[in-house]
Structure 1
Amino acid sequence: MRSLERHRDVGAYALGVLDEAEAFRFEDHLMECPRCAAEVTEFGPTTRQLMLYRRATPRTVHPFAGPGPRLLDRLLAEVAARHRAAKRRLLYAVAASLVVALAGPAIAMTAGAGEDRPVQVTATDEKSGVWAQVTTENEVWGSEVELKVKDAAGPRACHLVVIGRDGSEQTVTSWSAPHHDARPNTMKGAAALHPDEIARYEVRTKQGELLVGLEPR
């Protein structure tokens, strides 16, 4: 494959549509091309939008199916229903806040304990020397994931993989570790699993070698 064609494969690689052989060759190119490594990371938002579309579309619906003639009416009715529900929730929230204010600070602290907070886990592998920190935020569609990693043994292509409690695996993001650079790199990605459904995070090389594993408490 010529160099120009490799550059053009950035989008296909980021979206996971290259076959195994082409992906392997592109990862070799990725180790030597900072421009493509940066562009792969920039495809994160697009990948998340496609993931949202896939999760919201039933398997029985053809991907190129067109909207029906009554779709707009149904959408408007649904928006109106959500607005009414939002108003009711606002009234309930105001009433609850008044109760909390009257009951004192102890109840206020208890009420805040159930809120979703980012899950952060940090680990260093003694064998590989790789340090990583993963921060996961819960979303309606799954998880927003931020990875910070220090890997001074590059250059090499790496992946962040989340492993679900059901044993399933999802690749969150890919990058190319620079040559002998111990400064932290930050990448963002997304997973269809919610934080409480994730049992473990693993930073791996493209050959599948485990560089560091992280387990949320």
Structure 2
Amino acid sequence: MRSLERHRDVGAYALGVLDEADAFRFEDHLMECPRCAAHVTEFGPTTRQLMLYRRATPRVVHPMAQPGPRLLDRLLGEVSARHRARRRRLWYAVAASVVFAVAGSGIAMTMEGGKEPVRITATDERSGVWAQVTTEDEAWGSEVQLKVKDGAGPRACRLIAIGHDGSEQTVTNWNVPHHDARENTMHGSSAMHADQIARYELRTVDGEHLVTLESR
């Protein structure tokens, strides 16, 4: 595979449609190409929308079938519901801040419009890698934010979500800069909900284990 073709494969890799051999070669390319690593992360929103479409489509429907009005209504309804939930959380936070301002520090209360995000932090003594994962449930699965400090680059890495049933899903990919231990933040997603995830693992694309974050 020529260099230009590898650059062009970033979309196919991010969407998981490359075959195993091409995906393996592209992951080697990711270790040396920060631009492609950034593009893989940028494909996150598109991947999530396709995942939502897949979960909303019965298995008997051909994958290339055109979505009908009912599916479109359902997708729009879920998007609207997410926006309403976020607005509720914002108003609850504002109301809580007003109560605290009026009543002072003698009142302790929590107001939340949905499930609390799940946050896990861990440091691996062997690799020295520190990581923090914040997972927020959505209708189609979960949004994931990853923060990493890893001074052993350059290397290409991935975050893997491991379910209680042993299934694995790649949440996000990134490139560790050369000997840069500053905190880096990435975003990704999983089709699993937070309560279905047993743990997260950070690995290099070569399979080297860096750190494990156990769900509570």
TMscore range, shorter length = 0.7 to 0.9
Once the two structures are TM-superposed, the CA of residue 5 in structure 1 deviates from its matched residue by 0.9
Residue 172 in 1 paired to residue 171 in 2? Answer: yes
Is 1:17 the counterpart of 2:17? The answer is: yes
Deviations 1:26-82 (A, max 9, x none): 1121111111111111000011111111111010011222466xx47x959xx7xx9
Q: Distance in 1 between matches of 2:23 and 2:112?
A: 44
> Which blocks of at least 5 consecutive residues in structure 2 are unaligned?
85-102
How far apart are the structure 2 equivalents of 1:138 and 1:188? 14
Report 1:194-205 matches (<5 A).
194-205=193-204
* Equivalent residue, structure 2, for 1:34: 34
- Please state how far the C-alpha of 1:115 moved relative to its aligned partner: 4.0
Cα distance in structure 2, aligned partners of 1:156 and 1:168: 25
Q: Which residue pairs with 1:150 in the alignment?
A: 149
Question: What TM-score do you get using the length of structure 1 for normalisation?
Answer: 0.79
Secondary structure, in 3 states, of the residue corresponding to 1:129?
coil
Q: Name the count of aligned residue pairs.
A: 193
Q: 1:118, CA displacement in angstroms?
A: 0.8
What is the letter of the counterpart of residue 32 of structure 1? E
Counterpart position of 1:63: 63
- What one-letter code is carried by the residue in structure 2 that aligns with 1:22? D
For the structure 1 residues 194 and 32, does the alpha-carbon distance in structure 2 shift closer, same or farther, using more than 3 Å as the test? same
Question: Deviation of residue 24 (structure 1)?
Answer: 1.6
- CA displacement at 1:214 relative to structure 2: 0.3
Structure 1 residues 75, 155: CA separation in 2 closer, same or farther (over 3 Å shift)? closer
TM-score by length of 2: 0.79
The reply on whether 1:5 has 2:5 as its aligned counterpart is yes
Q: 1:66 to 1:35 in 2, by over 3 A?
A: closer
Q: Percent identity?
A: 75
Q: Max radius of gyration: which structure?
A: 1
Q: Which residue of 2 aligns with 1:48?
A: 48
AA partner of residue 116 (structure 1): K
Distance 1:44 1:75, change over 3 A: closer
How far, CA to CA, are the matches of 1:200 and 1:67 in structure 2? 35
Paired letter, 2:46:
T
Residue aligned with 2:40, SS: helix
Structure 1 counterpart SS, 2:147: strand
Once the two structures are TM-superposed, the CA of residue 4 in structure 1 deviates from its matched residue by: 1.0
The aligned residue for residue 121 of structure 2 is: 122
> Counterparts of 1:55 and 1:162 in 2: how far apart (Å)?
18
Q: Distance in 2 between matches of 1:181 and 1:18?
A: 31
Deviation digits for residues 158-194 of structure 1, max 9, x if unmatched?
1100111122111101111111111111111110111
How many Å apart are 1:6 and its aligned residue?
Answer: 1.0
In structure 1, how many angstroms separate the alpha carbons of the residues matched to 2:66 and 2:3?
39
Three-state SS of the structure 2 residue aligned to 1:182 is: coil
Q: 1:208 matched to which residue of 2? A: 207
How far 1:128 sits from its partner (Å)? 0.5
